[in-house]
Homo-oligomer: A and B are copies of this chain.
Amino acid sequence: MRFEGFEGKVYEAADLSPLRPNPPITTEDDNDNNGEELFVPPLNFAMVDNGVFRSGFPDSANFSFLQSLGLRSIIYLCPESYPEANNEFLKANGIRLFQFGIDGCKEPFVNIPEETIREALNVVLDVKNHPLLIHCKRGKHRTGCVVGCLRKLQRWCLSSIFDEYQRFAAAKARVSDQRFMEKFDVSGMKHLPIKFSCSKR
């Protein structure tokens, strides 16, 4: 089954069989005192809401952790092609990749494409894609904008949306991103079902 009315790239995983969590990959550094394997979540990892996670770019050290989440989809917000090792991981775990290539421009040349954010949000809102991970490179700006727009749909006030955005962007927080979220019009999306915990409409 393909996602209809979707303009980003869709990678169909060859193996869509049910996920069987594998034991975490063991390396000497990732063991605790009892010799147990430890999980390494990606940089800036957090739970956004039921079935929705966010992070920076995951690498192979994070794969066993991501496996434990039982992900069904990943939303990837950069234009660069997905690394081979990550593609292999998706394939082996039946995870579908939705890529929305948003350039990682620096201020004052930031131009966040509203329509692309809207399409990404449609994927986030579709519970058939859950559990789902949203990520860009550092999990700050592009990911922060998608999550901020989701919070708008969830009717969070702007100051709480910015508080959350800044927690992840920290010293790299951008007024232009916050202005984008402030201007983002959710009135056309209010027919969509929101089945989350963190405030329902």
Contacts and interface: CB of A to CB of B under 8 A. Distances in A.
B47 A155 contact: no
A160 B41 contact: yes
Given A44-B163, A49-B47, A168-B167, A38 B155 contact: yes
B49 A200 contact: no
B160 A45 contact: yes
Nearest to A50: B50
A68 interface: yes
Interface stretch (A29-37, A76-84, A88-96, A114-122): A29-37
B156 A43 contact: no
A159 B46 CA distance: 14
Q: How many copies make up the complex?
A: 2
Given A69-B197, A198-B69, A155 B45 contact: no
A98 to B, nearest CB: 20
**Interface band, chain A:** 35 or more
A187 interface: yes
A48 interface: yes
A113 to B, nearest CB: 22
A65 interface: yes
Interface of A: 21, 24, 30, 32, 34, 36-41, 43-50, 65, 68-69, 131, 154-157, 159-160, 163-164, 167-168, 170, 187, 197-200
29 contacts: A21-B200, A24-B155, A34-B187, A38-B155, A38-B156, A39-B155, A39-B160, A40-B156, A40-B157, A40-B160, A43-B163, A44-B163, A44-B167, A45-B160, A46-B46, A46-B164, A46-B167, A47-B48, A47-B49, A47-B197, A50-B50, A68-B198, A68-B200, A69-B198, A69-B199, A167-B167, A167-B168, A167-B170, A170-B170
